[in-house]
Amino acid sequence: MPIHITDPASGDTLTANLAGSALVISPRFGESYSFDRAGRLLGLFRDERSYQRTLDHRLLERLSGHNNGPRRRELSPDEADALLQRAFAGLRALAEALPRLGVPPDDHCLLADGLAKVLAFGPERLAADGATFRRLYKPVSILPPDQYLALVLQATEGCTWNRCTFCGLYRDRAFRARSPESFEAHCAAVQAFFGEGISLRRGIFLADANALVLSLERLRTIFAIAQDFFRLPDGPRPVFSFVSAFDVGRKSAGEWAELAALGLRRAYVGLETGDDALLRFLNKPGTVADAVEAVRALRAGGVAVGVIVMAGIGGDRYADAHVAGSVEAIRAMGLGAGDQVYLSNYVSAPGTEYDALAAEAGIRPLSGMEIDAQRQALQAQMRAAAPEAIVAPYHVDGFAL
């Protein structure tokens, strides 16, 4: 149960919830801090501003994102340090004040233990923790929205294709698969890094961009290693991953069913558009028919899907065909309960070719209002085309792990 205490001296109301997978402490109205069960700071709200601390130890201020503006601002090192110093000074003062607050004995023990844990994970340790994360992981470039709290395991690095004109997520690395020995060492290091904080991580996300392209034999080994380290008390921890539609057909429905039995719950497919002409312009491998067939094959094997479509891609030239073809592709996939469709606004990525190619071809980019209108049209029509699936926005520019 949450703890509620009024400070007799200041009149401030302290609230805390220490029983779940996260620790939440609010010393007073309008100020709140969240931590994982290891005591690692996750986020804070104070001075009417909301901040996220990333695992690589950056502090991001969440912005409104209205009118397609930025959704976050990274604090400078000096700003971040000042904010953390103020936050932890307040938490230390709260710990010192506990004896005079008249907290019931059981609640006092819980709160004192919780504060001791988070204070032991103060600014200096958080900085060291971020450095450890950066050694442990290649940058985690993107995750689907429902996987932001997944336990990411990098069985592979990079993308097997890595030539889509709009995508710069993996341009900094070549595709490589870890050996079983390397993956086992990675899992051991991840387990040690998160400690009790693993309780907050809902499932395993097998990274990077196309880990499921690996052979069934290699995936059996990877899944077994992952479950040896992170199995839940009542069975396999659920596994999620991206997969290229072009590569799904390398495995039979029976092989996908075996992976489902080993814990694979959902595979995410970047359809991007249901218009073949636009797919060619984006330099995506395969066709819309390939993507439809891939989704049907995954579902036949008992693996749910997450299909990603981009709003605004293709500008004015492809807009009508993009919307019509994408809706028809979603309808043809036969999505059901447990499946998802994510609508992601096109965001220009540095170091990619799309913007220059579009300008050269005379394609006018859609305005922010036009992109929003296209996304809303896609969302409405796709909900009608796949009424059992979840259809939701996907703000890729708001992602941070």
Task: Supply the pLDDT for residue 5.
Answer: 81
Domain spans of the chain, in order of start: 3-125, 137-398
Distance CA 212, CA 209 (A): 9
pTM: 0.93
Low-confidence stretches of the chain (pLDDT < 50) are none
Cα Rg of the chain, angstroms: 23
For residue 157, give the 3-state DSSP assignment: strand
Cα-flanking dihedrals φ and ψ of residue 267, to 5°? -115, 135
CATH of domain 137-398: 3.20.20.70
- Inter-residue contact 311 to 342 (CB < 8 Å): no
Judging by DSSP bridges, how do beta strands 340-345 and 304-311 pair with one another? parallel
Task: Supply the pLDDT for residue 143.
Answer: 94
Task: Supply the pLDDT for residue 152.
Answer: 97
Distance CA 61, CA 19 (A): 27
Task: Supply the pLDDT for residue 1.
Answer: 67
Judging by DSSP bridges, how do beta strands 72-74 and 59-62 pair with one another? antiparallel
Task: Supply the pLDDT for residue 314.
Answer: 97
In sequence order, which residues have a C-beta less than 8 Å from that of residue 181 and are 6 or more positions away?
A: none
Q: What is the pLDDT of residues 46-83, one digit of tens each?
A: 989 999 999 999 999 988 766 566 778 999 999 999 99
- Inter-residue contact 37 to 23 (CB < 8 Å): yes
Task: Supply the pLDDT for residue 69.
Answer: 62
DSSP track, 71-94: SEEEPPHHHHHHHHHHHHHHHHHH
For residue 156, give the 3-state DSSP assignment: strand
b/e for 309-345, b at 16 or more Cβ within 10 A? bbbbbbbebbbebbbebbbbbbbbbebeeebbbbbbb
| Token code pair at residue 270 | 């970047």
Task: Supply the pLDDT for residue 359.
Answer: 96
Task: Supply the pLDDT for residue 365.
Answer: 96
Q: Which residue, chain included where needed, has tokens 């230390």?
A: 92
Instruction: Measure Cα distances from 59 to 55, 67, 383 in Å.
Output: 10, 23, 36
Distance CA 266, CA 146 (A): 11
3-state SS of 332-375 is HHCCCCCCEEEEEECCCCCCCCHHHHHHHCCCCCCCHHHHHHHH
b/e for 7-43, b at 16 or more Cβ within 10 A? beeeeeebebebeeebbbbbbbeebbbbbbbbbbbbb
Instruction: Measure Cα distances from 260 to 179, 212, 302, 361 in Å.
Output: 22, 12, 6, 44
Task: Supply the pLDDT for residue 114.
Answer: 92
Amino acid 125 reads R
Measured in whole angstroms, how far is the alpha carbon of residue 237 from the centre of its chain?
17
Segment holding 341, helix H or strand E? strand 340-345
- Inter-residue contact 282 to 315 (CB < 8 Å): no
Distance CA 258, CA 298 (A): 11
Distance CA 253, CA 248 (A): 10
Task: Supply the pLDDT for residue 351.
Answer: 87
